[in-house]
Amino acid sequence: PPLLSETIRLTGPTENFQRERPVLFDESELLSKTGSMEATRRAKETTTRSRAEVEKELVSAVALMQKEKREKEDEKKEFERHRTMDKILRKMRHAGIGLRIGDRKQRLRTVKNCFMGDEFICWVEESISSRELSLILGKTLSEAVSAEDAQALGSHMLNVGLIYGVGDENDESGAFSKEHIPYRFFEDDESNILNFKKVFDGSSRPPHEVAEDLLLRVIALVSRVSPPETFALTPAESQFITTIAPLDKLSWEQQYREFTHATAELQAVDLSDLKRDCQKLAFWINIFHTMIIHAYLEKGIDHSRARRRNFFTNYCYIIGDILFSIDDIEHGVLRGNRPSRMGGRPFENGNCRIEHMVDELDPRVHFALCYAMEGEPSIRLYHAEIIEEQLNIAGAMYCEKFVEVRMMKRVIVLPHRIEWYSFDIGDTWAEILTFLCYFLEDSFRKIVMELLHKFWDANQVKLRFLKFTWTPAIGRALQAIRKTGSGSLSSIIAVGQAENHVQLRKEGWLAREDRSGKSWRRRYFVLNGATLSYYDSDKKYEGSLRGALTLSGTTTSKGLFNVKKVKSFTCRVKAYPKYDPALENPVTRKKEKYGWKFKLEALERKLRLAADSEEDRKSWISAIEQVQNDVKLK
């Protein structure tokens, strides 16, 4: 292009081109004229229209208003019906006043977690009002609930997928039986299909919306007992999870029940909407992480090697009327039906799941998949529109965290997943290391490339791999959340928050006297903030949580006229008189094993503890007294 000076020289000064626009008429006058002409035209059209046409328009407008009013009334009735059904379900499943749900003998076999049809009829007649029943069934009933009305409620619950018949005696037509026949709630089903607690009978949302919603829900359930590095979320996603995360045991149980019911929507998802690989990657990665955490919450974390092997193949989801296990998603769909570490391809020829696989394997998927264990990538929410950038970010964070170079020893340390699935990345280790260099920082990349250029051809570079440990990173008290361990959810959340966000005060071994006062057990105690927790093992993630004490805080009580009183409390600690543990106890005539004892009085209970030495006891007492001083300063 010509220079600017040449352009000016050829065209002349710029002032010559700033010409005034010719004004042919006034714009305001034109607008007023056109407005008056339009008004005149509309007036003529109105006068020429017949009276019948005007009445027809009025009738259609009134009909539209009436239709909108009926739709609002129907929505209100539907909301009231769902709320009433939820209230009846909670009443049915109540331990004290609900149905008798348990194991029953039926024709020389035991049917677990069921109730009988005749007992259901009697319970509905006695416990449910006719108003509630009429709201659900949509018809007017008499004041007294009859057996036919109770049977109609049972048939309705069968049709909407809240209960199902157990055994061959049930009617295939879908009618509820009054006989002594077993039925079971879908919530009490012990099958390995995790999203079959309810049968979904509505229309499903697009697949990516369902997957993103479910992953955010399940992250909110475990966010308070998980280390911060477990999840890599945007500020908006973190703020949303903070607002919906449960704070106490009751809200956690209710939210977990809502989550299990929400997973039923996957039964009706249309997988044919996932046409491109970016859509398939985002959807299946989100579902993979949702199913992993859901399986931990539902079935627990088993440390047995024999059972651990079947963890990834047994638990599954129904997605679009097809069963998908954790292994099916990882090795079948995302890795293109490649063999797993256990050997064998997930899908055989002619399997209906093959059409839902990705068209081409992307090695970066290994930077995204996480078993929610230590030494794994962070879990993030993936979107089809930006999944390329997200996978690159995940690769950079993964390599920065787990790739290490020891220059003096000429050793490169790689994560375990690179060792497991190296053939997904390249045929030789030179190709694999070159691929990983793309995700390293510039300075780090230069070091690795220099090491490879100098010593790789001479076989002087050694590769080491990090060991995979079956250590859950989604909270030390995950089994206690499922009511299999000790401690309430409030103490578990306190432990999780203390371990993840508060500076560690002290940890170590102490002996704890049991409730009988006859024996002592060694426990590993951890003092984080104002929470003292103790475990079976010093490997706190692997050892189950035995208990937790809150050493300081506030309590709320009701006084006169139901006025709330908020009081602060703190613990008390007292050391027993010092004596030589080698001497005999004057009462038992036996040598004392634990001689340096001290007593701790917390809000929940009292503990008698013993340290291994006088210095250890002094350090524990000083750490606990520091908690008291912090409360006094506040």
CA distance 87 to 81: 10
Residue 96 lies in a domain: yes
Say what angle helices 277-299 and 249-262 make with each other, to 10 degrees.
140
- Residue 17: band (very low, low, confident or very high) from pLDDT cuts 50, 70, 90: very low
Res. 560: pLDDT tops 60: no
Tell me what pLDDT residue 202 has: 80
Res. 502: pLDDT tops 50: no
Residue 36 lies in a domain: no
Residue 162 lies in a domain: yes
Contact of 526 with 532, CB cutoff 8 Å: yes
- Domain C-terminal end among 132, 154, 186: 186
More confident residue, 178 or 560: 178
Pick the range with the lowest mean pLDDT from 41-50, 317-326, 550-559, 590-599. 550-559
Res. 12: pLDDT tops 60: no
Tell me what pLDDT residue 604 has: 60
Res. 583: pLDDT tops 60: no
Contact of 402 with 442, CB cutoff 8 Å: no
Ranked by mean pLDDT, which of 252-256, 491-495, 591-595 comes out on top?
A: 252-256
Using the 8-state DSSP alphabet, how is residue 588 labeled? T
DSSP-assigned states of every residue in 367-383 = GT---SBTTSPPB----
Residue 201 lies in a domain: no
- Domain C-terminal end among 152, 186, 220: 186
Pick the range with the lowest mean pLDDT from 29-43, 149-163, 320-334, 599-613. 29-43
- Give CA separation, 481 vs 217, 231, 253, 447, 512, in Å: 16, 19, 9, 46, 24
Are 454 and 553 in a shared domain? Answer: no
Are 553 and 409 in a shared domain? Answer: no
- Residue 381: band (very low, low, confident or very high) from pLDDT cuts 50, 70, 90: very high
Mean pLDDT of the chain: 76
Res. 15: pLDDT tops 80: no
Are 233 and 329 in a shared domain? Answer: yes
- Residue 267 tokens read as 């039964």
Q: Which amino acid is at 594?
A: Y
Res. 134: pLDDT tops 80: yes
Give the mean model confidence (pLDDT) for residues 526-554. 68
- Give CA separation, 538 vs 45, 230, 481, 510, 542, in Å: 89, 21, 21, 11, 9
**340: which residues sit within 8 A by CB, 6+ positions away?**
327, 330, 331, 346
CATH of the domain at 131: 1.10.10.10
CA distance 450 to 624: 52
Tell me what pLDDT residue 31 has: 45
Q: C-alpha angle 489/495/497, rounded to 5°?
A: 100
Are 434 and 486 in a shared domain? Answer: no
Residue 418 lies in a domain: yes
Q: C-alpha angle 194/200/202, rounded to 5°?
A: 150
Res. 496: pLDDT tops 50: no
**518: which residues sit within 8 A by CB, 6+ positions away?**
none
Tell me what pLDDT residue 321 has: 84
Tell me what pLDDT residue 482 has: 46
Quote the domain boundaries for residue 216: 207-388
Q: C-alpha angle 625/628/632, rounded to 5°?
A: 140
Helix (H/G/I), strand (E/B), else coil: 556: strand
More confident residue, 545 or 48: 545
Residue 514 lies in a domain: yes
Residue reference for tokens 């070159």: 434
Res. 76: pLDDT tops 50: yes
Are 239 and 353 in a shared domain? Answer: yes
Tell me what pLDDT residue 453 has: 83
Are 143 and 221 in a shared domain? Answer: no
Are 369 and 406 in a shared domain? Answer: no
Tell me what pLDDT residue 91 has: 85
Tell me what pLDDT residue 364 has: 92
CA distance 551 to 631: 10
- Residue 494: band (very low, low, confident or very high) from pLDDT cuts 50, 70, 90: very low
Tell me: the pLDDT tens digits for 286-302?
999 999 988 888 877 66
Pick the range with the lowest mean pLDDT from 343-357, 470-484, 534-548. 470-484
Q: Which amino acid is at 25?
A: F
Residue 367 lies in a domain: yes
Are 262 and 358 in a shared domain? Answer: yes
CA distance 634 to 350: 68
Q: Which amino acid is at 196?
A: F
Res. 49: pLDDT tops 80: no
Ranked by mean pLDDT, which of 233-247, 356-370, 477-491 comes out on top?
A: 356-370
Tell me what pLDDT residue 245 has: 77
Q: Which helix (H) or strand (E) holds 437?
A: helix 429-437
- Domain C-terminal end among 465, 490, 505: 465
Tell me what pLDDT residue 30 has: 44
* Number of domains composing the chain: 4
Tell me: the pLDDT tens digits for 443-492?
888 888 888 888 887 788 888 888 877 766 554 445 445 443 333 444 44
Contact of 375 with 466, CB cutoff 8 Å: yes
Res. 354: pLDDT tops 70: yes
Helix (H/G/I), strand (E/B), else coil: 599: strand
Long-range contacts of 107-114 (CB under 8 A, 24+ apart): 111/166, 111/167, 111/182, 111/184, 112/190, 113/184, 113/185, 113/188, 113/189, 113/190, 114/166, 114/182, 114/183, 114/184, 114/188
Pick the range with the lowest mean pLDDT from 229-238, 554-563, 570-579, 621-630. 554-563
Residue 608 lies in a domain: yes
CA distance 479 to 542: 11
Are 422 and 377 in a shared domain? Answer: no
Ranked by mean pLDDT, which of 212-221, 477-486, 576-585 comes out on top?
A: 212-221
Are 538 and 621 in a shared domain? Answer: yes
More confident residue, 319 or 229: 319
Give the mean model confidence (pLDDT) for residues 121-148. 85
Tell me what pLDDT residue 445 has: 84
Q: What burial letters (b/e) apply to 548-564, b meaning 16+ CB within 10 Å?
A: bbbbbeeeeeeeeeeee
Tell me what pLDDT residue 391 has: 92
- Residue 7: band (very low, low, confident or very high) from pLDDT cuts 50, 70, 90: very low
Res. 285: pLDDT tops 90: yes
Give the mean model confidence (pLDDT) for residues 614-626. 85
More confident residue, 51 or 232: 232
Pick the range with the lowest mean pLDDT from 58-72, 73-87, 482-496. 482-496
Tell me what pLDDT residue 289 has: 93
Dihedral over alpha carbons 48, 50, 53, 54 (to 10 degrees): 80
Tell me: the pLDDT tens digits for 421-437?
888 898 888 888 888 88
Using the 8-state DSSP alphabet, how is residue 328 labeled? I
Are 248 and 319 in a shared domain? Answer: yes
CATH of the domain at 614: 2.30.29.30
CA distance 115 to 350: 41
Give the mean model confidence (pLDDT) for residues 343-354. 83
- Residue 383: band (very low, low, confident or very high) from pLDDT cuts 50, 70, 90: very high
Q: What is the CA radius of gyration of the chain?
A: 34
What is the share, in percent, of the chain residues with pLDDT greater than 70?
74
Helices (H), 182-248: 207-222, 235-244
Long-range contacts of 24-29 (CB under 8 A, 24+ apart): none
- Residue 13: band (very low, low, confident or very high) from pLDDT cuts 50, 70, 90: very low
Tell me what pLDDT residue 498 has: 44
**Of residues 338, 203, 320, the one with CA closest to residue 266:** 320
Res. 526: pLDDT tops 70: yes
Are 460 and 482 in a shared domain? Answer: no
